[in-house]
Amino acid sequence: MSNLTTKHLLGIKDLQKEDIELIFRTADNFKEVINRPIKKVPSLRDVTIANLFFENSTRTRLSFELAERRLSADVINFAASSSSVSKGETLIDTVNNILAMKVDIIVMRHPNPGAAVFLAKHVDASIVNAGDGAHEHPTQALLDAYSIREKFGKVDGLKVAIVGDILHSRVALSNIFCLQKLGAEVMVCGPETLLPKHVASLGVKVEKDLRKALEWCDVANMLRIQLERQDIRYFPSIREYVMRYGLNKSLLDSLDKKITIMHPGPINRGVEITSDVADSDQAIILDQVENGVATRMAVLYLLAGRVE
């Protein structure tokens, strides 16, 4: 198989396992490309990509933009704060105006869950979901699973714990779908208030004790506490959260095996993980960032290359 089965990347849930494996194989090639003296290929030189960010983002936007430029695509950036959205324009009008400028692919982050699916139904361009509310963040899940595959040589059969604010996390949901499709066992761990009510129905293990989760897993993906998404207080204080769910070096060293630590960034050092854990040789956080560019190049290349 050398073609994706889908025109858009809206979420991992709708993706076939074969699609994910194709993205990974293609990302292997792009990882080699971005380590060359000239880190650029001309494949997408006749493709225009619009990055629409209706929500703040630094690393995802930079990663996408770098991926686009390294494929030689023309790139236009659009931030909601500086746009006519604040003047009352609807999403479809905004996007159709952009498409009238002959844009082929839209990369969109939006605060509303389902925004990418909605857009895909109404406009004639490939849509890449760069995060829609607390729903999905597919490219983050792809780069996380790709980083696990790179470290272990496989994903199948591994045990992955996702720790922290599961309730507000699109990274958690996309990761669960992606890891399960690739054959990994997934556990979520966090305080009761930050675990979605029916999360076990996704086929994941649920654990409230961090030590037990760490003893179980091969890989721990430590999520950030998303204070900006929390409308009420879900735990008494940051200090209490750190005491029960923060990962520090002594806890990590007390385990009887060396587990791999991941973090989607940005890190709140001293909250979900301490500095010495983030900088330890067990952490693959910076590998995740590099792999983010390679996997996003693969996604854009494969979407752009589809012959309708």
Partner 1 sequence: MTRRLLMNGNRLDITINRLCYQLLENHDGFLDAAIVGLQPRGVFVARRIHQRLCTILKRNDLLLGELDVTFYRDDFRRREMIAPSTTRMDFTVENRKVILVDDVLYTGRTIRAGMDALIDFGRPDCVELLTLVDRRYSRQLPIEPHYIGLSVDTITEEKVKVLWKETEGEDGIWLSAAESSTVQSS
Residue numbers at the binding site for partner 1 (CB under 8 A): 2-3, 25-26, 28-29, 32-33, 36-38, 40-43, 46-47, 301-302, 304-307
- 137 given a catalytic annotation: yes
Angle between helices 138-152 and 285-304 (to 10 degrees): 120
- 249 given a catalytic annotation: no
Closer CB to partner 1, 66 or 85, in the complex: 66
Residue 255's contacts (CB-CB under 8 Å, 6 or more residues apart) are: 214, 215
Closer CB to partner 1, 21 or 215, in the complex: 21
Q: With CA atoms as reference, report the closest residue to 39 among 48, 31, 47, 50.
A: 31
Q: How far is the CB of 23 from partner 1 (least distance, A)?
A: 12
Q: How far is the CB of 138 from partner 1 (least distance, A)?
A: 20
Task: With beta carbons less than 8 A apart as the criterion, state whether 80 and 100 touch.
Answer: no
* Spatial separation of the C-alpha atoms in residues 216 and 235, rounded to whole Å: 25
Looking at the chain, the number of H-run helices and the number of E-run strands are 11, 9
Catalytic residue among 8, 31, 48, 60: 60
Catalytic residue among 45, 59, 239, 244: 59
The greatest distance separating any two alpha carbons of the chain, rounded to the nearest whole angstrom, comes to: 59
Closer CB to partner 1, 44 or 91, in the complex: 44
Q: How far is the CB of 162 from partner 1 (least distance, A)?
A: 32
Q: How far is the CB of 304 from partner 1 (least distance, A)?
A: 7
Closer CB to partner 1, 2 or 82, in the complex: 2
Closer CB to partner 1, 34 or 117, in the complex: 34
Cis peptide before 138 (omega within 30 of 0): no
The amino acid occupying position 279 is D
Q: How far is the CB of 72 from partner 1 (least distance, A)?
A: 9
- 109 given a catalytic annotation: yes
Closer CB to partner 1, 1 or 227, in the complex: 1
* Spatial separation of the C-alpha atoms in residues 60 and 302, rounded to whole Å: 19
Residue at token pair 């950030």? 224
The amino acid occupying position 120 is A
The amino acid occupying position 50 is A
Catalytic residue among 31, 70, 137, 296: 137
Task: With beta carbons less than 8 A apart as the criterion, state whether 79 and 53 touch.
Answer: yes
The amino acid occupying position 35 is N
Q: How far is the CB of 179 from partner 1 (least distance, A)?
A: 25
Quick one: which H or E segment has residue 212?
Answer: helix 210-216
Q: How far is CA 129 from CA 16, 148, 191, 229, in A?
A: 16, 22, 28, 19
Q: Which residues are catalytic?
A: 59-60, 87, 109, 137
